[in-house]
Amino acid sequence: MLCAFEGWNDAGQAVTNVIHHLVSRYDGREVRHIRCDGYYDYQAVRPMACSVTGRRKILWPQTTFYEITVAPGVRIFAQIAPEPNYRWQEYCRQSLRIAEEFDVDHIVTMGAMFADCPHTRPLPLDQSDRGCQCDMDREYNGPVGIPTVLDDMACSQGWDTTSLWVSVPQYLGGDECAQATLQILDRLSVLLGVDLDVGDLPDRANQWKAQASVLTRCNDELSSYVRNLEREYDLAKVAHDVADLGAPQAEQLVRETEEYLSNMGDGPRR
């Protein structure tokens, strides 16, 4: 079951758009809901007024579960909702009861966060896989969202879990980030062993990159900031690659990278 929540955990609408994309590209149907009662602050998550068949109606925030067939014999479930404001533990228990009802054996929580990363490189995508004998990630101390709580509760109750988090450049603001959605979808293809239909996401991702590049070219300060992020990204990648090499190859790789980064830093500036 794939789980995505709007709000704090969904920078650039990256993860909820994964669910929207799958529902639009495959044979999917709504199979369950969790009603909003007791879970939401309506001043934070407003009900929406709309017209349905000529009649005015109030739509309240709720959780929707979809059943989606992505390939012959391959069926997944997807949970999408605004992040609840209250009673998280009860909400997660209710979510897992629904997962149990549908014989789900693996919970995949997804999140997106704003971070210092350049749009000119692949966006950082972190994956954490845990079995039923698990502990919280000891490398992070700080606030968490409901994907982390749901992942932890699922793991403690015996589910295998995977947590996917993608980073979105914070300097681009809150616009939709198709590149992040595409990268998560590609990773899900690996997890499911199915080549998921990406539709027009590659074109939209290229458009996102092009618009970001135009923005940075028009702002000297932002352009310099992005170049620094690129250097940090490339150095981190080298450090990762060096760990997998022997000493002579590692030294050669470091020299080549230092020369490349030095030349990049001396490039023309506006």
- Whole-angstrom distance, CA of residue 172 vs CA of residue 114: 9
* pLDDT over threshold 90, residue 17: yes
pTM, 2 dp: 0.85
* pLDDT over threshold 80, residue 266: no
DSSP 13: G
* pLDDT over threshold 80, residue 18: yes
The helix (H) or strand (E) run that includes residue 239 is helix 220-242
Alpha helix (H) residue ranges in 3-68: 16-25
Report pLDDT for 247: 57
Token code pair at residue 155:
């793991």
Identify the residue with better confidence: 185 or 42: 185
Cβ neighbours, 10 Å, residue 216? 22
* pLDDT over threshold 50, residue 270: no
Residue 201: name the closest of 180, 187, 215 by CA: 180
Kindly write down the DSSP assignment for every residue of 1-18, as one continuous string. -EEEEESTTBGGGTTHHH
- Whole-angstrom distance, CA of residue 185 vs CA of residue 180: 9
* pLDDT over threshold 80, residue 248: no
Residue 142 has, within 13 A of its CA and on its CB side, a CA count of 2
Residue type, 34: I
Residue 196: name the closest of 207, 188, 204 by CA: 188
Q: What are phi and psi of 42, to 5 degrees?
A: -70, -10
> Residue 196 in 3-state DSSP?
coil
**pLDDT, tens digit (0-9, with 9 covering 90-100), for 221-233:** 999 999 999 999 9
Residue type, 62: Q
Cβ neighbours, 10 Å, residue 191? 14
**pLDDT, tens digit (0-9, with 9 covering 90-100), for 66-123:** 999 999 989 999 999 999 999 999 999 999 999 999 999 999 999 999 999 999 999 9
**pLDDT, tens digit (0-9, with 9 covering 90-100), for 114-151:** 999 999 999 999 999 986 545 545 566 888 999 999 99
- Whole-angstrom distance, CA of residue 6 vs CA of residue 115: 18
Average pLDDT, the chain: 89
Kindly write down the DSSP assignment for every residue of 59-85, as one continuous string. EPP-EEEEEEEEETTEEEEEEEEEPPS
Q: What are phi and psi of 206, to 5 degrees?
A: -65, -40
Residue 89: name the closest of 146, 46, 33, 48 by CA: 146
**pLDDT, tens digit (0-9, with 9 covering 90-100), for 190-217:** 999 999 999 999 999 999 999 999 999 9
Tallying the residues shown for the chain, one arrives at 270
